[in-house]
Structure 1
Amino acid sequence: MRTVRKGEGKMAGSSSVPPVHPLIAVRLTRRQVLRGMVIAGAVPPLSAVLAACGGEDEGDGGTPSTPPEEIVRGGVLKIATPYAVSTLDPIKSVAAGDIEVLGQIYSRLTRRGPDGKEILPGLAEGWESSPDGLTWTFTLREAAFSDGSTITADDVVFSYLRLRDQEDSAYGGAFQVIGDIVALDPKNVQFTLKGPAAPFLGSTEQFNAGIVPKAVVGSMGDEGFAKAPVTSGGFGVQEWRPNERLILTANTNYWREGLPNLDGVEVIEVLRAPTRVSMLEAGEADVARDVPWAQVEQFKTREDMIVPLDPSSVIYVILLNHQDPVLSNIDVRKAMAMALDRDGITQAVTFGNAVTANSLIPNTVDFYDPEATPLPYDPEQAKALIESAGATGAEIEFLTTQIDDPATVLVQDQLKAIGLNVTINQVDVGGWWDSVVGANYGAAVTWWYNEVPDPDPAVRWALCGECGNSSFFTFYDNPEIDRLTEEALHETDPAGREELYHEIQRIALEDVAQIPMWYQPYANVYRSWVHDLKMNPAIQWNLDEAWMNP
């Protein structure tokens, strides 16, 4: 019996793995794609320049950056963000703006350590697993919801059943591995899995696995609860004005004793990057999300600003439509990959803040292969491949939401140099998704991220042809990758999983499933009075541990 006691953590990097997607593939309806704009972190193509995408607590594994006696308590932290909040119900969305907020207002059974990978006790102070890994028993700590009512095993069962079974659960596929969920008593809940699933433990920390009060949801109904919820995390909801701002207030019943340090948080929706930057400089915002890289460079030189460049799971790629008559030819895809000075493009677009990608999964996820090797930059060989394929002058349309997107323009110029006729088609975000989902495009520079450290959802989203999303709608389908994806899901030995995921990465690069471009950190900027604030690669803030001394 594997037992984790209060205060004991488990590293996800090699000995355990987090979340999503168990026994069935993630399946997205077109409505979910267009509404959520994210699944396994997928997002519509934004400007390559504008978009980027703790306190001690009773021995639970927290490691504060600042000694408690030096922390200044109080104040309301204001965050200017381009990402909208669309719901406050943890199971109803997979959009980036919602994910960031849901992590602050709902606690899960487990939580992540400062590195974003270590699995620590959350609402559960410990857990046990059976030798076969099919039965998991979690013991709840003494904790309460924001209204003061006790969090019980019945609330956990209710939260997971609605997450797994409710038709409008936006990411319920990740929890279909769960067979039975039983409250053994008020403090113990038992999960019985349908089969081995390496990501299960990590999935208990996933953004949509927040625990909600059964009685309150029952009395308010889903719609009412989604607007004015009773919460289990560090913050409660004071006021929500959709498309404007969300005002959070410290949860005085929060289970992490002494936290939050802040009195509250305001999440202010500001679509235009220049406005976010102006608010930051004027002190109208303490934090600005997705600051343009040129201004990030300027802020690095200022003593009144902090540029943390926290590692993210954002990966920029070039999607290639494998149903396109030109791009279905692997020699054309190889030529395109070899024609691009990816190092130069990465440097130019991100001002050197990003790292050229060598694989087709993020470099912050478990089992990423640092030795994976994409095709080398060789424009002469690329031109020869185009000529031998009879593709000189072939037309390839790049889809973008911004006609002067610098990355797309640089790619266009370098592909023209090897004899391809590249055009750029600008559409709005809805049109972009219509075209991509409908296979009505040639190629696109875009980005996505993985909201958990486990590679399972990343591979299912981007590289698995039979997992419900047509390999991020590139319609790439290699049966060997599909097979390896399922094998890796059920493999519980970390060394075995590593070998399988390395092989997946190798095959995808060999097939030129997509073209990897770069890995970039978060382009967030803080005022100098903000302390101990971090965003982990799964786009989760540690707002409960942050503090200010303006």
Structure 2
Amino acid sequence: MNYAFRKMLFAATVAISSAPNIASADGGSISIAVAENPQQLDPMRSANAPDILLHGQLYARLLHRDSTGTLSPGLAESWTISEDGKTYVFTLRDAVFADGSPITAEDVVFSLDRTLNHPESAYPAPLSAIESLEAKDAKTVSIALKSPNAPFLGNLEVFNASIVSKTDVEARGEEEAFAKPLSSGAFMVDSWDRNSSIQLVKNPKYYRDGAPNLDSVEYRIVEDANTRVSLLKAGEVNAVEGVPYANIAELRDAGFEVPLEASTKTQIILMNHDNPPFDDVRVRQAAVMALDRVAIAKAVTQGLVTEVANSSLPGALNFHSQDDAALPYDPAQAKALLEDAGAVGAEVTIIQVSGSQVSQQIALLTQALWSQVGLNAKIEQLDSAAFRTRRKTERDDWHAAPAWYYNETLDPDLAVRWAVCGTCGSNAFHTGYRNETVDTLTEEALSETDVAKRAKLYAEIQQISTNEVVHIPLYYPPFTNAYASDVEGLFMTPAFQWTLEEAKRK
């Protein structure tokens, strides 16, 4: 299932031209109720969804992806690529930070180097092909790659390829600089109450003529989904993230738009490979085969999604193989696998985000179905910040967790590096899964320019990681955001960004 993704968005085209001149500003403000509290405005230090929603608004990148999905010049107005595909030379346009200081090649080198090499970088994978960075002069950046890299240009538009001010970060220090960052993007931070809201205002010095239309944007943090819906119905916000499936019909009947937007999301259950019993592949396979994933998808989505995921990799991606199906629903075989592994009666802890109806429903259904084959699960609810901390750092204190992730582009490289590669910086989505063959194939696929050979490599990666059950794939969900009728041009792209540069109030 791809929700018309390939037709709608992310056309893999690159137009080398001047920045587009979009509609002149109309003013006004928009308030969006979002599900999770942002923690970090430094694009190098976080790959968490609530932070990514802000990084895309606060920072510009060398390339720009618009609301149609087209990849076009951003801070770089043009570029050349060497014949061997290993050297890219970018020429920067005349652009400035929000304080009026010029955006230079030194800023680009500083920003990309932080993401690639800083010891606290959360997600260096998009830039991992880079061998060296050089500011040849104030407006020219040369990037040398280790080998030809098929998705490289698209990766330069990913959130943590954001360009920050070298002078500002070094002058104020990282902590202060990113508490209220100097913007290179369409919006600036006006105020930030870390527990309730973050207020953005228009950056009048943004390089794209006429953008953004809006004067200000409020992100209101409301973890409870029902409360978000109530705020929309009461007219207190203009849009909400993550409407529960059970509320979609009533909102549509009341005149709100709930378009079920195309996404590259994959709904999964993470398993902790570092903690028994899921360190045993037989137990992981049993955990999959105990779950009626079709019934789970229908129950959680109110019948709106009926096709289950056939792997942990998003179904909308290029080279996604339909031939490698996840293990089938087979409770009898699940019991046999648990008996063979000596894991009948094993106690496991499922952690889930409080306030998320999807997470709660998946946890409850999983608990019930696992109990039928001999896995005894308890559920522990955590707020979003505690959930992320527990999942990443407290490795001996959880076994499974309903979760989701998305891919920034149609190319599968980043999804593979985030979700299944054990040596690519994210520890296979914090599961501890490790397979040397998968890691080697990941690097081979990155530099392979032959389309057929790349497809074969990704099919092998998908087959291995699915059979070894890196995670339990459930289904491929759309975005379930809702919008008031007084908002125009606002939606969420598959790259998990609000189209706030083009949005306006009617």
The TM tier, using the shorter chain, reads: 0.7 to 0.9
What is the match of residue 368 of structure 2?
Answer: 413
For residues 221 and 237 of structure 2, what CA distance do their matches in structure 1 show? 11
Aligned partner of 1:158 among 101, 104, 110: 110
Does residue 75 of structure 2 align to residue 120 of structure 1? no
Does residue 46 of structure 2 align to residue 89 of structure 1? no
TM-score under structure 1 normalisation? 0.79
For residues 492 and 324 of structure 1, what CA distance do their matches in structure 2 show? 38
Does residue 379 of structure 2 align to residue 422 of structure 1? no
Q: 1:427 to 1:245 in 2, by over 3 A?
A: closer
- Alpha-carbon displacement from aligned partner over 1:148-185 (angstroms, at most 9, x marks no partner): 33333233233323333444443345435433322333
Aligned partner of 1:308 among 244, 259, 270: 259
Query: Are 2:13 and 2:72, in contact at CA under 8 Å, matched by a contact in 1?
Result: no
**Which residue type is aligned with residue 522 of structure 1?**
F
Q: 1:127 to 1:386 in 2, by over 3 A?
A: same
Q: Percent identity?
A: 40
- Alpha-carbon displacement from aligned partner over 1:473-505 (angstroms, at most 9, x marks no partner): 444333322221221122233332222111111
Aligned partner of 1:347 among 298, 314, 321: 298
Query: Are 1:299 and 1:307, in contact at CA under 8 Å, matched by a contact in 2?
Result: yes
What is the match of residue 480 of structure 1?
Answer: 437
Q: CA deviation at 1:341?
A: 1.7
Does residue 207 of structure 2 align to residue 255 of structure 1? yes
What is the match of residue 413 of structure 2?
Answer: 456
Q: 1:238 to 1:450 in 2, by over 3 A?
A: same
Does residue 468 of structure 2 align to residue 511 of structure 1? yes
Query: Are 2:17 and 2:78, in contact at CA under 8 Å, matched by a contact in 1?
Result: no
TM-score under structure 2 normalisation? 0.86
Q: Superposition pairs for residues 58-97 of structure 1, below 5 Å?
A: 60=19, 73-97=26-50
For residues 249 and 470 of structure 1, what CA distance do their matches in structure 2 show? 36
Q: CA deviation at 1:324?
A: 5.7
Does residue 492 of structure 2 align to residue 535 of structure 1? yes
Q: Superposition pairs for residues 313-332 of structure 1, below 5 Å?
A: 313-322=264-273, 326-327=277-278, 330-332=281-283
What is the match of residue 5 of structure 2?
Answer: none
What is the match of residue 139 of structure 1?
Answer: 91
Query: Are 2:370 and 2:377, in contact at CA under 8 Å, matched by a contact in 1?
Result: no
523-532 or 419-428, larger mean C-alpha shift: 419-428
Aligned partner of 1:101 among 54, 69, 76: 54
Query: Are 2:88 and 2:142, in contact at CA under 8 Å, matched by a contact in 1?
Result: yes
What is the match of residue 269 of structure 1?
Answer: 221
Q: CA deviation at 1:541?
A: 1.6
Query: Are 2:347 and 2:376, in contact at CA under 8 Å, matched by a contact in 1?
Result: yes
Q: Superposition pairs for residues 1-12 of structure 1, below 5 Å?
A: none
**Which residue type is aligned with residue 299 of structure 2?**
A
For residues 58 and 186 of structure 1, what CA distance do their matches in structure 2 show? 20
What is the match of residue 397 of structure 1?
Answer: 348
Q: CA deviation at 1:439?
A: 4.2
**Higher relative contact order, chain-length normalized (CA < 8 Å, sep 6+):** 1
Q: CA deviation at 1:292?
A: 2.0
Q: 1:455 to 1:61 in 2, by over 3 A?
A: farther
For residues 98 and 216 of structure 1, what CA distance do their matches in structure 2 show? 21
How many residues get paired? 489
**Which residue type is aligned with residue 80 of structure 1?**
A
Query: Are 1:15 and 1:494, in contact at CA under 8 Å, matched by a contact in 2?
Result: no
For residues 226 and 156 of structure 2, what CA distance do their matches in structure 1 show? 38
Secondary structure of 2:476's counterpart equals strand
For residues 161 and 341 of structure 2, what CA distance do their matches in structure 1 show? 52
For residues 222 and 390 of structure 1, what CA distance do their matches in structure 2 show? 49
For residues 309 and 164 of structure 2, what CA distance do their matches in structure 1 show? 39
Query: Are 2:106 and 2:138, in contact at CA under 8 Å, matched by a contact in 1?
Result: yes
Structure 1: state its 5+ residue gaps: 1-10, 17-56
358-367 or 164-173, larger mean C-alpha shift: 164-173
Q: CA deviation at 1:198?
A: 3.3
- Alpha-carbon displacement from aligned partner over 1:381-411 (angstroms, at most 9, x marks no partner): 545x348737684324241236992222222
**Which residue type is aligned with residue 153 of structure 1?**
A
